Amino acid sequence: MAEEKLVIDAIDKETYPATEGVFLFELDRRLRSLVLKEHADLNEQAFISNKNLASYRLLYLNKMIENANKKNEYIRETIYDVTKNQDIGPLDIQEELDSKITFGQKIADYVARFGGSWTFIISFIIFMAIWMAFNVIKPFGLVFDAYPFILLNLALSTLAAIQAPLIMMSQNRASDYDRLQAKNDYMVNKKSEQGVSLLHAKIDHLVQQDQSDLLEIQKLQTEMLVSITEQLDEVQKMNQNLQNHLNNLHNGKG
């Protein structure tokens, strides 16, 4: 069996088998920078044993977790900053209009509501029928608006002249209601769009950044487990060699 190659550790200056460590150029760039930060005199060909590298791997792992926590905190703060000044609660349009309504507008709404009902139509037809019948039949010889009912025509014209602007006033209030409703819908849609955009940004961050960090952490953990396994194998070999040596000594004495 060929003799295993021995290499001097650049940190503790002790000799280790080449399989129990790595060269500096083989390390991840960020992990290599972390080692060079404390040992600036090392070159790319420097050898570092797994035993000495374990502490740097743990430190690197902690820094990665700390950076991931900072990024998540930054995202939470960004979302909070965007949404804290957007207190867009549900708006009751009718209540908003009723809080500013005047007495004249109330009358206009009532006239428009009553004038557009079957109650008004039927009542008005009955009223005109009684008016015309009374002046045609002339009970007890009484008449106040003989045919062709000039007074009735005047009353109808006056009613139409007054009713028309009142209905227009009510329509203006309906237009105000529609404008407020449209504005409220726009604000709600805008808030929903911003919420969806922020949600997409957060999901993208979790999928891209956190996934890459997780893979890097898993890689480090795998390397550390491999290093520990190799060291355990080496210890087992040493124990086996020691046991064999003791057995040989015992057999020699026997």
Let me know: does 51 contact 224? Beta carbons within 8 Å: no
Within this chain, do residues 129 and 42 fall inside the same structural domain, yes or no? no
Mean pLDDT, the chain, rounded, equals 78
- 82-111 mean pLDDT: 69
Within this chain, do residues 76 and 106 fall inside the same structural domain, yes or no? no
Let me know: does 204 contact 149? Beta carbons within 8 Å: no
Within this chain, do residues 48 and 111 fall inside the same structural domain, yes or no? no
- Type of residue found at 14: E
Within this chain, do residues 61 and 101 fall inside the same structural domain, yes or no? no
Name the residue with tokens 């708006």: 91
Let me know: does 12 contact 48? Beta carbons within 8 Å: no
Let me know: does 163 contact 114? Beta carbons within 8 Å: no
Q: What is the pLDDT of residue 170?
A: 79
- 48-58 mean pLDDT: 80
Structure tokens at 10: 């650049």
Within this chain, do residues 116 and 72 fall inside the same structural domain, yes or no? no
Encode pLDDT of 185-225 as tens digits: 888 788 778 778 877 777 776 666 666 667 677 776 776 77
Let me know: does 7 contact 18? Beta carbons within 8 Å: yes
Nearest to residue 214, comparing CAs of 74, 61, 72?
A: 61
Q: How confident is the model at residue 91 (pLDDT cuts 50, 70, 90)?
A: low
pLDDT cut 70: percent of the chain above it? 79
Q: Compute and round to an integer the Cα radius of gyration of the chain.
A: 46
Give the end of a domain, one of 27, 50, 85. 85
Within this chain, do residues 192 and 247 fall inside the same structural domain, yes or no? yes
Give the end of a domain, one of 85, 113, 133. 85
Within this chain, do residues 72 and 114 fall inside the same structural domain, yes or no? no
More confident residue, 26 or 249: 26
Within this chain, do residues 46 and 140 fall inside the same structural domain, yes or no? no
Q: Measured between alpha carbons, how far is 209 from 72 in angstroms, rounded to an integer?
A: 10
Q: Measured between alpha carbons, how far is 48 from 11 in angstroms, rounded to an integer?
A: 7
Within this chain, do residues 59 and 136 fall inside the same structural domain, yes or no? no
Q: How confident is the model at residue 129 (pLDDT cuts 50, 70, 90)?
A: very high
Encode pLDDT of 136-159 as tens digits: 888 888 888 888 889 989 988 998
53 pLDDT more than 60: yes
Domain span at residue 78 reads 1-85
Please state the domain count of the chain: 2
Q: Measured between alpha carbons, how far is 151 from 158 in angstroms, rounded to an integer?
A: 10
Q: Measured between alpha carbons, how far is 215 from 1 in angstroms, rounded to an integer?
A: 38
Within this chain, do residues 72 and 146 fall inside the same structural domain, yes or no? no
Instruction: Output the CA–CA distances (angstroms, integers) from residue 252 to 190, 196, 241, 242, 247, in the order listed.
Output: 91, 82, 16, 15, 9
- Three-state DSSP class for 23? strand
Q: Measured between alpha carbons, how far is 15 from 141 in angstroms, rounded to an integer?
A: 139
Give the end of a domain, one of 85, 119, 154. 85
Within this chain, do residues 97 and 78 fall inside the same structural domain, yes or no? no
Within this chain, do residues 66 and 180 fall inside the same structural domain, yes or no? no
